[in-house]
Chain A
């Protein structure tokens, strides 16, 4: 608290430097988290999840020989530990230097999420990869990624120097797209951990038809993943149209990026089936899913921020003065 009270006494240059450092650190943590998601995807793709049967140690040691499946499983644990430590540091940094209470709270939430994620990772090993725990582990990974991406955005100079924009088509459709992508990641996690990735062996058709006979849960969840992918693609197109119409170049660029990602993601999904779940393809599919979610989130959050410099121009009409609750959303 003393540090926050003293925050105003610092000269502007030093404060700006610290803010830039905090932002860079938050971005670094987000990148490390994406790497962690890739490492987690590799563990599942190579079916190495149980190559280390104990937890928190690995074969009773901190560093087992990195042979065979252990390379992936223990490598995942090492990256996870690093991300955990980065998150601890980020939360402390935010607690000491971040004036906005909601950002500090988001840092604490990220810390709680990464601890819970570590525990879930351990439980999924000790209980021999039960689908429920493995799916929870996969989904919390995406939630944690969203938290650190939000922190990276909220600590950016553009965000700090911006004002609040009214809810718009971009923010509304973007929020819906975030929810839809998250649901798709949930369905994908169930499909992956239930080993239903090849339950429908052909692509783009399903058993040579548009609508296959649903003969098992595996076929049902696999087909649901494909159907919902179409819904997600539709929402992403809607996001793109809204972003372009907003006449905000930053949003339009993010919208284009989102659309490109969804195209890549659908191609990777098809390639995953056609290559019989080739490890690099299946893992890239997981990583692109996370990137898709983060980009939709960035678009949605970005739509609610507007540069203050534009307050006198076209943006004035959509900028909202923040008298009440301004500190909660600054």
Chain B
């Protein structure tokens, strides 16, 4: 009897394993359905230090400005990528955290600047915003997009990532991209600042998004500057958000096609 029981004990898990292995193929197929054709990448906004151009075609005022930083520059923190041999080999030079990046000219990088309380309807652009996982880091680190706009998430690495979005207003999601060049399209339906992204596989990976009902937002460049175009006439509150140093606000009135300057200053 014991032999028969042992045989049964061995056979049942073997059958279960073979069934789950079959299920794995189906899951891969689902992942492929979720992925978008590579052709879409051509339409994607470029990943970089500034937000994708999402403004209306013509007209309106322009807001420009820079975000300065005073106080002691935060020490650069080197990221240790020992947890994954691919990540470690992807960089020949030290890689630093992007939580607080002070540019050489004393300005602050990765600040999301946006106009608040904008009236009117602004359809979401048909072009996608791209969040690229490259060198086991998110590119860009901070970005904006409109509610309903496609967010194209790409894995450019030769290792796997999970993309875990942690919004509080929108729906949380956690997806896996186990293969290089995988692409997944996601959307956020409601405005929300910030939406945090993290990779639970590689703890150092983090990014932030701002979701807006309008296209009047920008991220500071590596010169600490920003530009928001085509703003309709009116008086607005402009806010600058930084993941470590919080928010600053300023009020501005614009008319016609004039250009106004709005500067912000953060203290360390």
B200 touching A92, Cβ below 8 Å: no
CA distance A88 to B9 in the complex (A): 8
A67 touching B83, Cβ below 8 Å: yes
With contacts A3-B1, A51-B162 taken as known, whether A67 is within 8 angstroms of B201 at the C-beta atoms is yes
With contacts A2-B1, A50-B162, A53-B162 taken as known, whether A59 is within 8 angstroms of B200 at the C-beta atoms is no
From A64, A68, A69, give the contact of B178 (CB < 8 A).
A64
Q: Provide the residues of chain A in CB contact with B235, threshold 8 Å.
A: none
Distance in Å: Cβ of A50 to nearest Cβ of chain B = 5
Q: Does A330 contact B (CB under 8 A)?
A: no
Q: Provide the residues of chain A in CB contact with B86, threshold 8 Å.
A: 67
Residue count of chain B within 8 Å CB distance of chain A: 35
Q: Provide the residues of chain A in CB contact with B9, threshold 8 Å.
A: 85, 88-89, 92
Q: Does A168 contact B (CB under 8 A)?
A: no
Q: Does B23 contact A (CB under 8 A)?
A: yes
CA distance A23 to B35 in the complex (A): 52
User: Please, what's the 1-or-0 string for A59-85, where 1 marks a CB less than 8 Å from any CB in chain B?
Assistant: 111101101111101000000000001
Q: Does B24 contact A (CB under 8 A)?
A: yes
Residue count of chain A within 8 Å CB distance of chain B: 34
CA distance A106 to B51 in the complex (A): 61
B176 touching A96, Cβ below 8 Å: no
B178 touching A59, Cβ below 8 Å: yes
* Shortest Cβ distance from A18 into B: residue: B2
CA distance A53 to B175 in the complex (A): 6
B27 touching A50, Cβ below 8 Å: no
Q: Provide the residues of chain A in CB contact with B23, threshold 8 Å.
A: 56-57
CA distance A89 to B5 in the complex (A): 9
CA distance A73 to B173 in the complex (A): 18
Distance in Å: Cβ of B195 to nearest Cβ of chain A = 14
B162 touching A96, Cβ below 8 Å: no
Q: Does B20 contact A (CB under 8 A)?
A: yes
Q: Does A326 contact B (CB under 8 A)?
A: no
Q: Does B156 contact A (CB under 8 A)?
A: no
B160 touching A65, Cβ below 8 Å: yes
Q: Does A128 contact B (CB under 8 A)?
A: yes
Distance in Å: Cβ of A313 to nearest Cβ of chain B = 39
Q: Does B28 contact A (CB under 8 A)?
A: yes
CA distance A73 to B176 in the complex (A): 14
Q: Provide the residues of chain A in CB contact with B172, threshold 8 Å.
A: 128
B20 touching A68, Cβ below 8 Å: no
User: Please, what's the 1-or-0 string for B234-251, where 1 marks a CB less than 8 Å from any CB in chain A?
Assistant: 000000000000000000
* Shortest Cβ distance from A2 into B: residue: B1
Q: Does A202 contact B (CB under 8 A)?
A: no
CA distance A114 to B85 in the complex (A): 35
Q: Provide the residues of chain B in CB contact with A53, threshold 8 Å.
A: 162, 164, 174-176
Q: Provide the residues of chain B in CB contact with A2, threshold 8 Å.
A: 1
Q: Does A49 contact B (CB under 8 A)?
A: yes
* Shortest Cβ distance from B179 into A: residue: A59
* Shortest Cβ distance from B20 into A: residue: A56
A59 touching B13, Cβ below 8 Å: no
A69 touching B174, Cβ below 8 Å: no
Q: Does B252 contact A (CB under 8 A)?
A: no
Q: Does A161 contact B (CB under 8 A)?
A: no
* Shortest Cβ distance from B12 into A: residue: A88
Q: Does A48 contact B (CB under 8 A)?
A: yes
From B24, B175, B201, B202, give the contact of A62 (CB < 8 A).
B24
B21 touching A59, Cβ below 8 Å: no
CA distance A128 to B164 in the complex (A): 9
A70 touching B201, Cβ below 8 Å: yes
CA distance A150 to B4 in the complex (A): 27
Q: Does A30 contact B (CB under 8 A)?
A: no
With contacts A3-B1, A60-B24, A85-B13 taken as known, whether A65 is within 8 angstroms of B159 at the C-beta atoms is yes
With contacts A65-B159, A65-B160, A67-B159 taken as known, whether A60 is within 8 angstroms of B28 at the C-beta atoms is yes
User: Please, what's the 1-or-0 string for B1-43, where 1 marks a CB less than 8 Å from any CB in chain A?
Assistant: 1100110110011000100110110011001000000000000
Q: Does A52 contact B (CB under 8 A)?
A: yes
Q: Provide the residues of chain A in CB contact with B84, threshold 8 Å.
A: 67-68
With contacts A62-B17, A89-B9 taken as known, whether A96 is within 8 angstroms of B200 at the C-beta atoms is no
User: Please, what's the 1-or-0 string for A39-53, where 1 marks a CB less than 8 Å from any CB in chain B?
Assistant: 000000011111111
Q: Provide the residues of chain B in CB contact with A61, threshold 8 Å.
A: 24, 178
Listed by A's residue number, 19 A-B pairs whose Cβ atoms lie within 8 Å are A48-B200, A49-B200, A53-B164, A53-B175, A54-B27, A59-B176, A59-B178, A60-B28, A60-B176, A62-B21, A68-B199, A68-B203, A69-B201, A69-B203, A70-B201, A71-B83, A96-B5, A128-B172, A128-B174
B-to-A contact residues, CB < 8 Å: 1-2, 5-6, 8-9, 12-13, 17, 20-21, 23-24, 27-28, 31, 83-86, 159-160, 162, 164, 172-176, 178, 199-203
3 smallest beta-carbon distances between A and B, as pairs: A51-B200, A68-B201, A59-B178
